[in-house]
A and B are shown apart, each in its own frame.
Chain A
Amino acid sequence: MNDNSDFNQLDALLAQPAVIADRGFSERVKQRMSKSNTARRNVFLITGFCWLALVLIAASPQAIYADFSTLALSLDISSLYPSVLNQFQSLSSSAQQLPYPTLAAALLSLAAVASMVVRA
């Protein structure tokens, strides 16, 4: 048999590919898309709440110090406690020197970056 004509027949056959029937496939994908949209919405909702919480905390650096101190006291890190306390104290004193709008802006920027990372 002629090779060229064989290859022509093969090409003709290959040019008519079999197509798989849908049979509910598109619907399944649509359902999964909706689920992923819901998850996405939830992530943004949580990010929004975190953002709000950060703004509230930024309004009071003293409260951060108090919270951290309480947390440190509740944990059993007695050996690390002096150095941790020193760090908290230095954090507290530097926060007191920092103007509130600057601190709030810094935290909001951090939240915005986190939000962008989540979106990516």
Chain B
Amino acid sequence: MISESALILRALARHDNDAFSALVRMHQGKIRAYLVRLCRSYDLADDIAQETFLTAFRKLQSYKGEGNFSGWLFRIAHNCFLQHIRKTKRRIEITEQFGTQQELQTEQYDSLSTEQMDLEQALTQLNPDETATITLCHSYGYSHQEVSDILDMPLGSVKSNISRGKVKLQKILTKPNGLEKAS
């Protein structure tokens, strides 16, 4: 199997569609799962994820190998998400609408345990900043500083969003009827 860095070099040097497609296959699962948590809609997340990868393909020359490639993709994905919100000017509507309307579609995932289903539902009750910071830090293993760079958010805000979000999650998951609001 070709390594990620070899694929990046191939995509960069020859503008190779196949090499970049292999990178898309490698990272799409995480990027889309992240966007689903933010958008609370599978279709919208798919659209933004497509835009993310196309933007990454166009701007691949600007990736200088500083930091890891998935961090760079998460940064683009987050910017695309914010751009979409600004464009539609429906941040509140999206948050409220999808926060209450989204049904968890288990068939969309590779595999999903009951606990993971509960977690995904619980995450819909957090605000986008809390969801983004917790997902990047705890689910994808980025440090607070890296999350701060990816989201272009002050380090203090990253930490406070994480701790506030985790307390909320804890409450939702331990309350017997905590998930009723989300379902």
Flag whether B134 is at the interface (Cβ < 8 A): yes
Chain A residues whose C-beta falls within 8 Å of the C-beta of B50 in the assembled complex? 25, 28-29, 32
Interface string of A1-44 (1 = CB under 8 A from B): 10000110011011111111111011011101110110000000
Interface residues of B in 147-166 (CB under 8 A from A): 166
Segment of B66-74, B76-84, B93-101, B111-119 in the binding face: B111-119
Bound Cα distance A30, B21 (Å):
6
Chain A residues whose C-beta falls within 8 Å of the C-beta of B30 in the assembled complex? 17, 19
Chain B residues whose C-beta falls within 8 Å of the C-beta of A22 in the assembled complex? 25, 28-29
Q: Which of B58, B135, B170 contacts A6 (CB 8 A)?
A: B170
Closest Cβ of chain A to B18, distance in Å, is 8
Instruction: Report yes or no: A33 in contact with B29, Cβ–Cβ below 8 A.
Output: no
The DSSP consensus for interface residues of chain B is helix
Chain B residues whose C-beta falls within 8 Å of the C-beta of A10 in the assembled complex? 166, 169-170, 173
Closest Cβ of chain B to A42, distance in Å, is 16
Tell whether A14 pairs with B28 under 8 Å between CB atoms, given A26-B21, A32-B50: no
Closest Cβ of chain A to B109, distance in Å, is 5
Bound Cα distance A6, B174 (Å):
9
Instruction: Report yes or no: A17 in contact with B140, Cβ–Cβ below 8 A.
Output: yes
Instruction: Report yes or no: B54 in contact with A33, Cβ–Cβ below 8 A.
Output: yes
Chain B residues whose C-beta falls within 8 Å of the C-beta of A14 in the assembled complex? 119, 134, 138-139
Q: Which of A7, A19, A26 contacts B110 (CB 8 A)?
A: A19
Bound Cα distance A23, B115 (Å):
23
Closest Cβ of chain B to A36, distance in Å, is 6
Q: Which of B17, B32, B140, B170 contacts A33 (CB 8 A)?
A: B17
Instruction: Report yes or no: A17 in contact with B17, Cβ–Cβ below 8 A.
Output: no
Instruction: Report yes or no: A18 in contact with B120, Cβ–Cβ below 8 A.
Output: yes
Q: Which of A13, A20, A29, A37 contacts B108 (CB 8 A)?
A: A20
Bound Cα distance A33, B56 (Å):
11
Closest Cβ of chain A to B25, distance in Å, is 5
Chain A residues whose C-beta falls within 8 Å of the C-beta of B166 in the assembled complex? 7, 10
**A contacts, CB < 8 Å to B:** 1, 6-7, 10-11, 13-23, 25-26, 28-30, 32-34, 36-37
What are 14 A-to-B residue pairs whose CB atoms are below 8 Å? Answer: A6-B174, A7-B170, A10-B170, A13-B115, A17-B30, A17-B33, A18-B120, A19-B29, A19-B30, A25-B50, A26-B25, A26-B28, A29-B54, A33-B17
**B contacts, CB < 8 Å to A:** 15, 17, 20-21, 24-25, 28-30, 32-33, 36, 46, 49-50, 53-54, 57-58, 108-110, 112-113, 115-116, 119-120, 134-135, 138-141, 166, 169-170, 173-174
Apart from A20-B36, A25-B28, what 12 extra A-B contacts exist at CB < 8 Å?
Answer: A14-B119, A15-B139, A15-B141, A16-B116, A17-B30, A17-B33, A19-B110, A20-B32, A20-B33, A20-B110, A29-B54, A32-B50
